[in-house]
Amino acid sequence: MSAQPVVVAPEDRPQALSLVGEQVTVLVDGATTGNFEIFHQAGPEGSGALPHFHPWHEAFYVTAGQVTFGIGHAGDQVATAGTFVFIPAGSTHWFRFGPGGGEMLSMTPQPGVAEFFADVARQVGPAEPEFAALEKIATSHDVTILAPAN
């Protein structure tokens, strides 16, 4: 089957998902494109993903505010609007939205990440998630989340 053109207008997008303190909007999923997925992620200061890794690449483009990324052993990287960040498959990474919050686009060549986000939004509280519940969902989607330090 050959690829077909895709146009998704703002009014056709699904509502943002509330995920552990941030809002994730699926701009386009793998079922629509045949492979890659793109998301808009926004969150208040201090929100963001726990350290995790997965067997696919991921890229981010910061559109507003600042976002601090932790990538493997490279140390913290502060990204401001206009910064592109690429995370190779298998790399442990995390991010936190900075002062005043932030926004970014995230992209992945892995179909099904949108389903992972939807499962987290449905099954885990939007603020302080129970780690065991989050870990179970992540594992079912081939994502390994590292336990937060106490």
In the prediction, which pLDDT does 124 show?
85
Average pLDDT over residues 69-95: 94
With cut-offs at 50, 70 and 90, classify the pLDDT of residue 140: very high
Give the model's confidence band at 1: pLDDT under 50 very low, under 70 low, under 90 confident, else very high. Answer: low
pLDDT for 149: 62
CATH number of 24-143: 2.60.120.10
Sign of CA dihedral 35, 125, 135, 147: positive
Mean model confidence pLDDT for the chain: 91
pLDDT, position 150: 54
Predicted model pTM: 0.92
Angle at 37 between CA 26 and CA 105, to 5 degrees: 65
The reported pLDDT for the residue numbered 6 is 87
